[in-house]
Amino acid sequence: RKEVEQDPGPFNVPEGATVAFNCTYSNSASQSFFWYRQDCRKEPKLLMSVYSSGNEDGRFTAQLNRASQYISLLIRDSKLSDSATYLCVVPNYGGSQGNLIFGKGTKLSVKP
Amino acid sequence: GAGVSQSPRYKVAKRGQDVALRCDPISGHVSLFWYQQALGQGPEFLTYFQNEAQLDKSGLPSDRFFAERPEGSVSTLKIQRTQQEDSAVYLCASSLDNRGNTGELFFGEGSRLTVL
């Protein structure tokens, strides 16, 4: 099992739709999780951190299921500007500070 | 500066050439990281500096890869005798202190290396 696995998509949804992505991780000792957003040919940017059961920020909700070792990202009322690749990230606890393990990303395309 | 700055943005090298990629982190950021992102993949960790000390280089794929940060600010990633499999975007990131595991890394736009 890969350390961080994501469905690559693409997810093609209309504006206003609700869309959810899942990410599974292999290290049961992981305590913190992150979602990064990466626009085409741009740098990744931190979207949300998840330290306990979940986190909500406006239209975005991240949830953690420790028993099943997955985290999800829910986007409500999708906007055209939400089109991007969403990267699931877990710290590498065998490594140093900032040694993060990124998934391959899930591509979202929001259509008018 | 306002953000992490990397140069060159694009580099084309012939196989066997040496390349040097530069990173200017956000002013005052203690920690600096290099990641490699191949096409269609997520970024992969290469190395980590705290000030001028290289504390982790476990992700460097071979001894052809070398990174330095001599004065604890600007960093250079050098790749010797480039190979086609080195083609990727090289991302530099910085964070204010040693809170790298909070996930709060600020990335530059990357240097896109193509080896012919």
> Helix, strand or coil for residue B60?
coil
B interface with A, Cβ–Cβ < 8 A, is: 4, 31, 33, 40-45, 48, 50, 55-56, 58-59, 91, 93, 95, 98-105, 107-110
DSSP A51: -
Contact B107, A47 (CB under 8 A): no
Across A53-67, A94-108, B14-28, the highest mean pLDDT is recorded for B14-28
DSSP A109: E
Residues from chain A that touch B41, judged by Cβ atoms under 8 A, are: 104
- Find where tokens 């740098």 sit: A43
The residue among B52, B73, B104, B96 whose CA lies nearest residue B5 is: B73
Report the distance separating Cα B65 and Cα B51, nearest Å: 20
Contact A55, A33 (CB under 8 A): no
Backbone φ, ψ for residue B31 (5° rounding): -100, 140
pLDDT tens digit sequence for A27-85: 888 888 999 999 999 999 999 988 877 889 999 999 999 889 999 999 999 999 999 99
Contact B110, A107 (CB under 8 A): no
Residue A31 has a pLDDT of 82
Report the distance separating Cα A78 and Cα A82, nearest Å: 6
- Find where tokens 């299921």 sit: A65
pLDDT tens digit sequence for B70-103: 999 999 999 999 999 999 999 999 988 665 556 6
> Helix, strand or coil for residue A12?
strand
pLDDT tens digit sequence for B23-70: 999 998 999 999 999 999 999 999 999 999 999 999 999 999 999 999
CA geometry: angle A107, B38, A101, nearest 5 deg: 75
Residue A27 has a pLDDT of 85
Please tell me the number of Cα atoms within 13 Å of A6 on its side-chain side: 29
Q: Are A45 and B107 a contacting pair at CB < 8 A?
A: yes
Residue A1 has a pLDDT of 57
The residue among B24, B60, B39 whose CA lies nearest residue A38 is: B39
Mutation for A interface: B49, B98, B101, most A CBs within 10 A: B101
- Find where tokens 């204010």 sit: B96
